[in-house]
Amino acid sequence: MKLVIATRNRHKLDEIRAIFHQPALEIVSAFDFPEIPDVVEDGTTFEANALKKAVTLATATGCWALADDSGLEVDALSGEPGVYSARYAGEPVSYKANNEKLLANLEVAGDRTARFRCVIALSSPSGVARTVEGSCEGTIGLEERGEGGFGYDPVFIPEGHTLTFAELEPEAKHAISHRGRALRAAAELWGAMLEQHPADWPE
């Protein structure tokens, strides 16, 4: 059975494929359906955006679809950048510009606590969807460090660690990351069901 990952972000797609490993499923993505336009992420919550992406891809392709929406919430900035994490510094999207803006906005902040949050949505071909969530607490460093990961990984130091996400080995990051936790919850809840090739959610 095909499971469509509702993203055209290759970094995110690689992480999802690495963590949500279901041998009985053929994992494809929005890249495999170029005729379907990008979903406008205009929701005010991670859940709303994840649901919109999953339902849109599922109903357009006739396949089960999985989507995530995630972002960084910084306490000193009243939860910013939140749902606007990807475009925090404006268009075109630039990880470097986003990190530079974040560090500038925190230059005089005493509180640098933050968290990554991720909502995973799974939609049946009929457009019925469910969600799970994962989060990772941490702090924002004083500068960018590390070459791995993407997005805010070079400035985010997970709780209990001294290295940024970008300095951790991928396996170590996936074990504690917001996306890793959400995807493992999704696999635990829905993996066995998907392997049975259901037409819709069970009653």
Give the active site residues.
69
DSSP string of 146-200? -SSS-TTTTTEEETT-SS-TTTS-HHHHHHHSHHHHHHHHHHHHHHHHHHT--SS
The partner residues of 137 in beta bridges, in order of sequence, read 115
In 22-157, where does DSSP find H-type helix? 46-61, 95-105
DSSP string of 118-137? EEEEEE-TTS-EEEEEEEEE
Secondary structure of residue 66 in the 3-state scheme? strand
Task: Read off the tokens for 35.
Answer: 């005729």
| CA atoms of 200 and 192, how far apart (whole Å) | 14
Q: Please, are residues 43 and 83 in contact by the beta-carbon 8 Å criterion? A: yes
| CA 58, 183, 143, 10 torsion-angle sign | negative
